[in-house]
Amino acid sequence: MLRWTGPITVLLSLTVGQCAFAQSRMKITLLADTQVVQPGQPFTVAARLTIDPTFHVYWSNPGDSGRATHVRWHLPSGYSAGELQFPAPSRISLPGGLVNFGYEKEVVLMTTIRPPARIEDQPKLTADVDYLVCDENSCKPGEANELGLVLPSNDSERQVIESWKKQLPVPAEKCEDVVRVTPVTGGLDIQWRATPKAIECFPNLDESWQLEDCRVDTTGMNTRVLYRLLSGKVKSLSNSPKPLVLAYTLENGQRRAIELPMNPMPGNP
């Protein structure tokens, strides 16, 4: 029998009413954007991850290594939850030329909750967060189970959610910064209303395809996005439906992101 010498993940048991989970490397709190749950009125709940300096957690496509963060909400019957919404990630460079897609310092992972048309009491909402937190030297997986959401939420919680909502990717056709998207061999052309700065491409993952080597080249008001569809039958480990996310920074310093469709004829640039 192997004697265990690695670090052991300690799960903290929480006392009633407590909504924070703290460990070395990371703290997790749950937030909501509503004071009370109204029948039939969708609202946003979120897990706020406050990450220690030098560490990072992962986007839906973690990049060259790592694992996506998962948040699972437990709901009373009649309630439904939308999919986990990931804000635009950052590129995190590691030694050896490896790149991770994820978040440093803080991220707020949101979910839309739909209550039923009729409710009797205010619901009890809890969430499980499953994560991998790494720096360039080590990785630590962990889970925080049955964290409780405390309602009513306060103003600062609602402000946090509002500010992170601005970093959620929106479909390109609904984005006011984009004039049009045109498929080209091996990628897409984007025409901007005003050319943004710091344009970065993040290929996502799916069961049936995997994009690699996404590159952007901007001239004037146009950005060409080129990527490679990995040859052969490549199976991935996530099932996110968003092919590409393009993050960019506006003149006023605000970071935004759009979702791009996959060109059905990606070619091989």
Partner 1 sequence: MKFTALFTLAFSLVSFAALAADGPAKIGQPAPEFSLKDQDGKAVSLADYKDKVVVLEWFNEECPFVQKHYSEGNMNRLAAGYTEKGVVWLLVNSTKGKSSASNKQVAERWHITRPILEDSMGQAAHAFGAKTTPGMFVINKGTLVYSGAIDDNNSNKTSDIAGAKNYVAQALDEISAGKSVSEPETRSYGCSVKYAK
Can you give the binding site for partner 1, defined by CB under 8 A?
2-6, 64-67, 94-98, 100, 132, 134, 136-141, 205, 210, 230, 232-237
CB of 5 to partner 1, least distance (A): 7
Name the residue nearer to partner 1 (CB basis): 17 or 96.
96
Cα–Cα dist 227/263, whole Å: 10
Cα–Cα dist 131/83, whole Å: 17
Q: What SS3 state is found at 49?
A: strand
Name the residue nearer to partner 1 (CB basis): 67 or 255.
67
Name the residue nearer to partner 1 (CB basis): 114 or 140.
140
For residue 244, report the phi and psi dihedrals to the nearest 5 degrees.
Answer: -135, 140
For residue 18, report the phi and psi dihedrals to the nearest 5 degrees.
Answer: -85, 140
CB of 234 to partner 1, least distance (A): 6
CB of 229 to partner 1, least distance (A): 12
Name the residue nearer to partner 1 (CB basis): 89 or 196.
89
Q: Which of 211, 177, 169, 168 is nearest to 197 (CA)?
A: 177
CB of 87 to partner 1, least distance (A): 22
Measured in Å, how far apart are the chain's first and last C-alpha atoms?
Answer: 51
Name the residue nearer to partner 1 (CB basis): 130 or 177.
130
Cα–Cα dist 5/184, whole Å: 53
CB of 232 to partner 1, least distance (A): 5
Q: Which residues pair with 32 in a beta bridge?
A: 45
